Amino acid sequence: MKVMVQFAAVFNLDKCLGCHACSIACKNLWTNREGTEYMWWNNVETKPGPGYPNQWEDQDKWHGGWILTKDGKLKLAIGGRIARLLELFSNPYLPTIDDYYEPFTYTYSDLVKQDDGKQPVAKPISLISKKPIEIDKGPNWNDDLAGGTETILQDPNVKKLQDKIKTDFENAFMMYLPRICNHCLNPSCMAACPAGAIYKRVEDGIVLTDQQKCRGWRFCIAACPYKKVYYNWSTGKAEKCILCYPRIENGQPPACFQQCVGRIRYIGPVFYDADRVLWAVSAGDPKEIIDRHLEIILDPYDPDVVKNAKENGIDEDFIKTAQRTPVYKMMKVWRIALPLHPEYRTLPMVWYIPPLSPIVENMKISDEQIFPLVDQMRIPLEYLASLFTAGDVDRVKNVLKKLLALRIYQRYIRLHKNPPGWIFKETSLTEKDFEEMYKVLAIAKIEDRFVIPTAHKEKAIKMFEEEIAPEYGQGHRGMEIAAKKPRDLRLRA
């Protein structure tokens, strides 16, 4: 067992407002430069819908993430080194600007220069070519359009469930899905980079791009199944979410976390067993990956884990914050959070609490009747399972039961009644669990949601002295292979 630290996050989709405050906070801070106009390191998608970039979940088209070969070995879906070499100048799995949108502005000067007596009009022009363009899409162009057949049928998850999901207006449903880089335990973008420019920080697991090493090959963009790496057309470099690591090192949450109006975001360090990452992603059945993922996430209160963490140079404040953050409990103890598309085998460390939705066919029902009717909610369980559990409907159903049970429990408490025993039996949760869940999900203060240790000066000096970029194609194991090579890390993002 080798204990390592990873910052993990949980987004509670049951509370997301779709206000995009998180996106704007990130945009103003990090992607307000030339070449980054179309980059949304944080974006909020309306689901069902094609997402951003267009149909990013369709891995039959993009070949992102990892796959298992017939002999059980892990391989990048975009192919090995030779295959990528042949596609060096014509990559079929690389999104084009049309899959995003061509960034544009308007000729505002025309509004004051019009002198022929006609109504002045500001015309759209491309920020890339500086030529007039016709606007057919933009950022969040399908916002709140999940009920429309034009957008809902473009969702790759819906295509798999067309017999189950109807597009009639009365059967329409929608939810919001905020997305950032998942800072995976087994990032495919890192393994695909020929220059070794993408690396995973040993001290906190944040995945970054070394701009000095990046040569703009863009294999990282093709290999990332979440399409959260972008190409800066101005600088010729790849850029991505850096989890606001300068803020993290100062004990502050990322900007998108800080500005979240719905208070849906939680972040904190967790421990994981680095020696078992390959085992976790090598499950034959994709549905088993979540259980293996949870198994390698370690209990921060376990004396053996704490001892091993100290032996590996993990500071005491990281140990204390790992014990205090609610992220671990939401993921592994209460098991109400789920990863986004675990079948991509990258082990994402941004997890989601799926949203509840109305039971529309039965309005007058008792508490005891709610649990059997979970599968009749407006948002089909098969759709949520396609997003979060590789198709495991029962796992999604168990999470929704726990969220419903929490509401039932609190209703009885507010009415000064004893909660019924069946809610504990159905969910395998205790009264203490329900009390803690209520505090975390409903009334948690900022210091309870964001549990972040500050960086140490001596650690920063050590980071400059140690090589932490992986060897090409090695994935997570490359972090250890290249652990002793010196290099200059003056520019990290």
* Tokens, residue 321: 């914050």
pLDDT in tens, 258-273: 999 999 999 999 999 9
160 DSSP assignment:
T
Round to whole Å and give the CA distance between 312 and 275.
13
Residue 214 inside a domain? The answer is no
Residue 128 inside a domain? The answer is yes
How many Å separate Cα 232 from the centre of its chain?
21
pLDDT in tens, 330-368: 999 999 999 999 999 999 999 999 999 887 555 555 666
Round to whole Å and give the CA distance between 57 and 68.
18
Closest by CA to 470, choosing from 91, 166, 199, is 199
pLDDT exceeds cutoff 60 at 481: no
3-class SS of residue 27: helix
pLDDT exceeds cutoff 70 at 207: yes
Structural domain of 129: 102-136
pLDDT exceeds cutoff 90 at 162: no
Cis omega (within 30 of 0) for bond into 48? yes
Closest by CA to 241, choosing from 40, 16, 492, is 40
Residue 88 inside a domain? The answer is no
| The amino acid at 457 | K
- Kindly state whether residues 269 and 418 are assigned to the same domain: yes
Residue 112 inside a domain? The answer is yes
pLDDT in tens, 268-317: 999 999 999 999 999 999 999 999 999 999 999 999 999 999 999 999 99
Residue 54 inside a domain? The answer is no
242 DSSP assignment:
-
Round to whole Å and give the CA distance between 337 and 329.
9
What are φ and ψ of residue 485, in 5° steps?
A: -95, 125
Residue 345 inside a domain? The answer is yes
Write down the residue that tokens 């009749």 correspond to: 376
Non-local (6+) Cβ contacts of 194 within 8 A are 84, 215, 217, 219, 472
Cis omega (within 30 of 0) for bond into 303? no
Domain holding 294: CATH number?
Answer: 3.30.70.20
Closest by CA to 455, choosing from 168, 232, 97, 206, is 206
3-class SS of residue 138: coil
pLDDT in tens, 360-393: 555 555 666 667 778 888 898 999 999 999 999 9
> Of the candidates 136, 153, 178, which is a domain's last residue?
136
* Tokens, residue 430: 């205790």
| The amino acid at 272 | Y
Residue 474 inside a domain? The answer is no
pLDDT exceeds cutoff 50 at 21: yes
* pLDDT for the residue 147: 62
Closest by CA to 57, choosing from 290, 390, 392, 292, is 390
pLDDT exceeds cutoff 50 at 152: yes
Contact 490, 211 (CB under 8 A): no
3-class SS of residue 297: strand
Question: How many folded domains does the chain comprise?
Answer: 2
pLDDT in tens, 388-425: 999 999 999 999 999 999 999 999 999 999 998 989 99
Residue 108 inside a domain? The answer is yes
> What's the N-to-C CA distance of the chain in angstroms?
31
